[in-house]
Structure 1
Amino acid sequence: MVRRIRRRQVLGGIAGAGVAGLAGCTGGDGGGSGRTIKMGLLMGVTGGLSNLGPPIRNAAQLVPQQVNDADTDFEVDVQFEDTATAASQGVSGGNALVNAGYPMICGALSSEVSLQVANQVAIPNGITMCSPASTAPDFTTLEDNDYFFRTPPTDALQGQVLARIASERQGHSSAATLYLNNAYGNGLSAGFVDSFENEFGGTVTASVSYSEGQNSYSSQLSEALSDDPDVLLVVGYPGSGVTIFRDYYNDYSADRDILVSDGLQSGDLPANVGRSMDNVTGTAPLGEGPGVEFFTEQYQQVYDADPSGKPFTRQSYDAAAVLVLANAAAGENAGAAVRDNMRTVAQGDGQEVTPGNLVEGIEMAANGDAVNYQGVSGPVAFDEAGDLAAATYEYFEFTDSGVETVETITP
């Protein structure tokens, strides 16, 4: 049978333990007149992304809830697996979804986790993945047989934006990077270094990697700052970011400009560090599509929280919405059929579908009508690599009340 997930059930389930499943049972297929669409959610709500992951998962969950609460013959059957922001657990969760018969996965979040799940689970089993937060450049050249898509832009673009800010906005000629040693950190640091040196004529004095979960990062900070660069770029997640910034402020000046990536866009970071962090700014993908108002209202109604300023929540709703639309157009719970309809429902000359009329869009797609999804984060047009064709970034700063946007930047 199908488990309908109602609004109150969602609130109760998400308020509970992070690894609690929003699991559905197996449902049957049908034609355009209505059937059960099966979608797995694979996201890190514990571990290094315990601060950022839950709102992203909540945003994706709005899509099946929206369908299941509507007056329609379609239902979305969901099973959630927590990756704990670890590749091994992500692979285990991905296999659990495959074994339960889910043809498509919304997730994962961490680029390293998504990369391993794609290579070890999705690609060999013919499962379509759409990540709302994996931004590493590695996915652009991944030999994925077209099974991997993502709704945020590649970090190759974010590295350029950060380099432009460091050089043109802040006026710096030297920089160092301190980055998490995984696909996300390596790719973003490399993109920044390449752009800062080759496009803006700057000098990168050091690029230092680190691992998550260490008690201190003083030695890595000392190595990165040994030549006294004008600006320091820190790439990582809040779990290790708190320790990094505590160590920094204990030993170094709060006057130095520090840039951070989207993974550290947490309004709770200054309070957890115990400093105002006035010298820290950063970038994150920012979309502004026709569904922003609807999405914000729905999120606030269900979770009694404002999604504004929470990274990748908009992209998460869009990833889930496109998967469900593609599945509806495919007419079956089959990974290859979903894959072949991902671009069909998100670009072209079809009837515009937004979050506000998503259920109607699902019915149209199932009936063979051409649809063009315009999401919360903007147009979701995938190029041949499964990347977004265009992107906009938010340049943000930390304040006493959280995170505020300084300006928006289009590469």
Structure 2
Amino acid sequence: MMKRTLLGLAGAIALTVGLQVAPAMAQDCTVDVGTVYPTSVDWGQPIAQTALWVGDMINEAGGVDGCEVNMILRDDQNDSRVGVDAARALVDLDGVQLLIGTVSSGISIPILTSVTAPAGVMQMSCCSSSTRLTEIAASGEANGLWFRTFATADVQAAVAAMLAQDAGIESVTVLFKNDDWGQDIGRIAAEAFEAVGITVHESIAINDAQPSYRAEATQALRDQPEALYLALYPTEGISFVREWIGLGGTSTMIGANSLKSDDFRAAVGLDNLTAFVGTDTSSPRVASADAFVDAYTAQFEGPPSGPGLANSFDAAAIALLAYHAAGRDATGADIAAQVTAVTDPEGEAIPATVEGFARAMEVLSEGGTVSYQGATGAVTFDANGNVSAPAVSWVFAEAGPSEERYISLEEVAAFMASMN
């Protein structure tokens, strides 16, 4: 398989990627698939790259219903207006019936409500965690077209409270990005801290692109919290934490997985991150997850270390296999209806390899079902398109983010039940 790089994507608004296939697998028809990811930012490029890699693998396995997959990639620039415009172009101009993406809930939500659901296009996200998306799906507004391979914000919020409680922290101030995702996880995290007896002094919204966050840092410092909880993205996270440290604030910080960034680590400095611990959802400790790490390392000459990579792989694989099961002329609703055939616990277990995809296509073409065993394990969705997941805590090291503790699905569930 071709080793693809995205080095030229920074600042690009759109890129159409023609996926190569082996001559023996060459197809004489094409299926266009929309892909929206923030390729302008350092952590977004590998997420998009992983999805494109799955497209390569599906083509090598025979394509979607015998047709070559053409992944049309557009950069949302981590901006909701740009993301909606990108999605609208994919739906209205390119005529896609499947959209894979995006990362931020603050972009996925308006894409779902104003573009994909009204147009009858299926949307599969790797990384959006807002519980608002669950509400949209439960209300029927998503028309059964919404799925995500990343657990909701409840998991990370609960793990943050668990880590704070274990560390003996008694007070915290919450800083959250002022968008749909940040407002959601910031609120849930504050509730989780309070549920375990930790005082939340304040919850402070952080807006994009301010010239300074000194006022917010001064406000946060007023009550002298023992720790900060940061539900921020790297750009505003860097600016805020620099102001905070400069004012003499504590270096004890708990961060969401959005800060698992080399840019954040380098700009803030490891010396200021010695008491920082991050949260993230995780793949279960199963053979298929280990196989993904090995395959990713071989493909990209390094292990998957950024956020959302395993989730991006599974989102693309499940969506494309469902497209195959529905047929080349399928509508978004047809594709969505076949997701259960790809993730049936009673179906034939298939690995996330070219050979596994080929076998899955054979079974699905015959009207059977498969149990996809992917980078995040045996994926299943609830009625609102959600998944459950274990979690991890992580810290910054010289080589990048390093896992500190694995928290099983059972541990996460038990802790969340104890809070309730």
For 2:226, the equivalent position in structure 1 comes to 230
Instruction: Output the CA distance in 1 between the equivalents of 2:111 and 2:18.
Output: 21
1:200 aligns with 2:196: yes
Distance 1:326 1:70 in 2: 14
Moved more, 312-321 or 392-401: 392-401
Q: TM-score, normalised by structure 2?
A: 0.87
Cα RMSD after superposing both structures? 2.0
Aligned residue for 1:60?
51
Aligned 1:9-408 pairs, distance under 5 A: 10-11=4-5, 14-18=6-10, 19=12, 21-23=15-17, 36-46=30-40, 50-70=41-61, 73-99=66-92, 100-142=94-136, 143-167=141-165, 169-197=166-194, 199-254=195-250, 256-276=251-271, 277-288=273-284, 289-307=286-304, 309-331=305-327, 332-356=329-353, 357-388=356-387, 390-408=388-406
TM-superposed deviation, 1:105 = 0.9
The offset of 1:231, in angstroms, is: 1.4
> Contact 2:349–2:370 at 8 Å: present in 1 too?
yes
Contact residue 257 and residue 280 of structure 1 kept, 8 A:
yes
Distance in 2 (CA, whole Å) between partners of 1:377 and 1:149 is 15
Q: Could you tell me whether the CA contact under 8 Å between 2:341 and 2:364 is conserved in 1?
A: no
> How far 1:253 moved relative to its partner?
4.2
Stretch deviating more after TM superposition (361-370 or 153-162): 361-370
Provide structure 1 residue ranges, at least 5 long, that are not aligned to the other structure.
1-5, 26-32
Q: How many residues align?
A: 388
Residue 418 of structure 2 corresponds to none
Residue equivalent to 1:29: none
Instruction: Provide the rounded CA distance (Å) in 2 between the counterparts of 1:348 and 1:274.
Output: 45
* 3-state SS of 2:143 partner: coil
Secondary structure at 2:230 match in 1: strand
What is the CA deviation profile of residues 145-170 of structure 1, one whole-angstrom value per residue up to 9, with x for unaligned ones? 11111000000222111112112x11
Deviations 1:232-263, CA, capped at 9 Å, x for gaps: 10111112211122212211245x42100010
Match of 1:30 in 2: none
Contact 1:37 1:333 (8 Å CA) reproduced: no
CA distance in structure 1 between the partners assigned to 2:50 and 2:264 by the alignment: 21
Give a deviation string over 1:249-289, Cα, whole Å, max 9, x none: 211245x4210001001244222223431011110111135
Q: Secondary structure at the match of 1:133?
A: coil
Partner Cα distance (1:87, 1:179) in 2: 17
Alignment deviations for residues 49-93 of structure 1 (CA, whole Å, 9 cap, x no partner): x02100111111111111223466442121011101111111111
> What's the secondary structure of 2:343's corresponding residue?
coil
Say which SS state the counterpart of residue 229 (structure 1) adopts: coil
SS at the partner of 2:279? strand
Query: Is contact 1:268–1:402 with CA below 8 Å preserved after alignment?
Result: no
* Alpha-carbon separation, structure 2, partners of 1:71 and 1:380: 23
SS at match of 1:344: helix
Would the aligned equivalents of 1:327 and 1:341 in 2 still touch at CA under 8 Å?
yes
Q: 2 CA distance for matches of 1:306 and 1:268?
A: 18
Q: 2:416 is matched with which residue? A: none
> Cα distance, 1:370 vs. partner?
1.2
**Kept in 1: contact 2:103–2:127 (CA 8 A):** yes
Give the % identical residues: 27
Query: What is the letter of the counterpart of residue 181 of structure 1?
Result: N
Cα contact 1:153–1:285 (8 A) shared by 2 = yes
User: Which residue is 1:3 aligned to?
Assistant: none
Counterpart AA for 1:86: D
* Aligned 8 A contact 2:393 2:406 in 1: yes
Say if 1:37 and 1:324, in contact at 8 Å, map to a contact too.
Answer: no
In 1, the alpha carbon distance for the partners of 2:44 and 2:391 equals 20
SS of 1:160's partner is helix
Query: 2:47 & 2:145 partners in 1: Cα distance?
Result: 21
Worse-superposed segment, 296-305 or 378-387: 296-305
Which amino acid in 2 is paired with 1:202?
A: I
- Partner secondary structure for residue 21 of structure 1: strand
CA contact (8 A) 1:267 1:398 kept: no
TM-score normalised by structure 1 residue count = 0.89
